[in-house]
Amino acid sequence: MDLLNKNVQHEVFGKGTICELTDEVISVEFKSGVKKFVFPDAFRDFLVMTEKKSREYISDMLDDMDREMKLKKEQEILEAERRERLSNLPVNTKAQTAFGFIENERQRVLEDEEVFVGTYRSGQNRGKPRSTARIYPNSACLLTHVEEGKAEEDRVIWGVFMVKDDYIGSEFSDGMIPVHEKYRILLDDEQKKIKYWDYFPDKTKNKTLKWGSVEIKYFNNITMLKILEDIAESIENPERKELCNELIEYFCMLNKITID
């Protein structure tokens, strides 16, 4: 709505006419001269539009501003609570995970943006989802795969993601781990260079490797950091490399790891 040349009333200067208007400043010409006010906030206390439609237009504008400010404040409170929650996460030195894709299927994981921890194979909980009590937002999840016809020692890492930042494993029983909306990396040609078992020499020395029937394996934070650093080193695309480095910083911050 065009407010130029519209009449206003001021509690001190009396009747005036709007002579100039920007996004933040309104200029009104009174008998005593031109006065400038903050727009549209001046209409909360000092100015009143004399025309009904103009007055309603300003009122709606102020209502919209108030709603935006309220929403922004609520978002700031939620963000502060999120940061506080993340800063106080329990740090488990062996809460990093690798998924063997025994019970998962790659395309489903990509579409649903969550990965399944698998089921118990024996005991009274047989067939039920495994416990996720050890998994928090500071857990990183490796996605691994063995190509058909290849040996277990050729298992490669094809992706990694941080757990969604509002996920607390002990509060869920469905066994589904949600993917963080930002911190996720899928590998293509790089994955051929990064073999999972290379990071676990104690498992490979003089042994025939077997993943087994359990979907998920846990390991320590420092090993995960080394894997993340090697993934970042293998990526050539600048934007993807930057994202991977941000993921590493996020991982270290949540796990209270200082990188020298």
Q: How confident is the model at residue 223 (pLDDT cuts 50, 70, 90)?
A: very high
Q: Identify whether residues 152 and 233 lie together within a single domain.
A: yes
Instruction: Check if the beta carbon of residue 154 is closer than 8 Å to that of residue 146.
Output: yes
Same domain for 241 and 212, yes or no, is yes
Domain termination residue (choose one: 87, 113, 140): 87
Least confident of 83-92, 117-126, 128-137, 210-219: 83-92
176 — pLDDT class (breaks 50, 70, 90): very high
Burial class (CB in 10 A: 0-12, 13-18, 19+), 156: buried
The answer to whether residues 227 and 132 belong to one domain is yes
CA-CA-CA-CA torsion sign (116, 223, 151, 156): positive
Please report which confidence band the pLDDT of residue 219 belongs to, taking 50, 70 and 90 as the band edges.
very high
pLDDT in tens, 128-168: 999 999 999 999 999 999 998 899 999 999 999 999 998 99
Biggest CA-to-CA distance, the chain: 97
pLDDT at res. 79: 73
Environment class of residue 84 by beta-carbon count within 10 Å: exposed (0-12), middle (13-18) or buried (19+)? exposed
Give the DSSP letter of residue 128. S
Beta strand segments in the chain, E: 7-10, 14-21, 25-30, 33-38, 47-49, 96-99, 114-116, 140-145, 156-163, 176-186, 216-219
Peptide linkage before 40 cis (omega within 30 of 0)? yes
Query: Over the stretch 26-40, which tens digit does the pLDDT of each residue have?
Result: 999 999 999 999 999
What stretches of 117-175 adopt beta strand conformation (E)?
140-145, 156-163
**pTM of the predicted protein model:** 0.71
Q: Is residue 36 part of a domain?
A: yes
Question: Which pLDDT score, from 0 to 100, does residue 206 have?
Answer: 64
Whether residues 27 and 133 fall in one domain: no
pLDDT band at residue 75 under the 50/70/90 scheme: confident
How much is the pLDDT for 104? 95
Does the pLDDT at position 220 exceed 70? yes
Domain match, 33 and 108 both: no
Same-domain pairing of 35 and 102: no
Distance CA 134, CA 118 (A): 14
pLDDT mean across residues, the chain? 91
User: Which residues contact residue 209 at a Cβ distance below 8 angstroms, ignoring those fewer than 6 apart?
Assistant: 151, 152, 153, 155, 197, 203
Burial (CB < 10 A; 0-12, 13-18, 19+), residue 130, is middle
- The average pLDDT across 32-51 equals 94
Domain boundary among 67, 87, 107: 87
Domain that holds residue 172: 96-254
Q: Which residues, including other chains, have CB under 8 Å from residue 12's CB and lie 6 or more apart?
A: 46
164 and 209 share one domain: yes
- Last residue of some domain: 61, 87, 113? 87
Nearest to 252 by CA among 93, 138, 83, 95: 138
> CA distances (Å), 246 to each of 108, 118, 123, 253, in order?
26, 29, 42, 10
Residue 259: inside a domain, yes or no? no
Please tell me whether residues 67 and 136 are part of one structural domain: no
CATH number of the structural domain spanning residue 209: 3.10.590
Task: Say what percent of the chain tops pLDDT 70.
Answer: 98
Q: State whether 163 and 114 are in the same domain.
A: yes
The SS3 call for residue 200 is: coil
Q: What is the pLDDT of residue 90?
A: 80
1 inside domain: no
pLDDT tens-digit map of 204-215: 666 778 898 999
C-alpha torsion sign, points 212, 215, 220, 221 = positive
For the segment 94-119, the average pLDDT, to the nearest whole number, is: 95
pLDDT average, residue stretch 188-201: 87
Determine, yes or no, domain membership for 260. Answer: no
Mean pLDDT value across residues 163-177: 91
CB 246 within 8 A of CB 160: no
